[in-house]
Amino acid sequence: MSTDARESYPVEKTDEQWRAQLDPQEYAVLRQAATERPYTGEYTNEKTVGVYHCRACDAELFRSATKFDSHCGWPSFWAPLAGDRVELLEDRSMGMRRVEVRCATCGSHLGHVFEGEGFGTPTDQRYCINSVALRLEPAEG
């Protein structure tokens, strides 16, 4: 895990470009590391089979096959699509140590990852991701 964000990403835009592309809640979460209220996101209880993309840059991040019910109020995944799709950063905000999850393509804030909570998933990890940071592309068929 790195502790500092990269200086550049494959997709980079000015603050004005991000503001024009994203609605106010998307901008607050993706670009300012805010958190949507628990149990309000469109994907919290979603069961559709497909791939979850970064809402900011459209990078593929998670598959529905790794999504599980954690009852934490946000969509939870036990692993990203591939390790290099997300960036993990130390987050010491709010008086605690957490691990922030960012999109490795555009640097947008997605949520946090937690370990050792006993969910019985293959990785013993819970990627707690804001719905507003994602866009689900349903599988064809």
Q: Which residues are catalytic?
A: 128
Residue pair 50/134 in contact (Cβ under 8 Å)? The answer is no
* Dist CA 104 CA 53 (whole Å): 12
* Dist CA 136 CA 81 (whole Å): 13
Residue 2 C-alpha from the chain's centroid: 17
* Distance from the first to the final alpha carbon of the chain: 37
* Dist CA 75 CA 68 (whole Å): 8
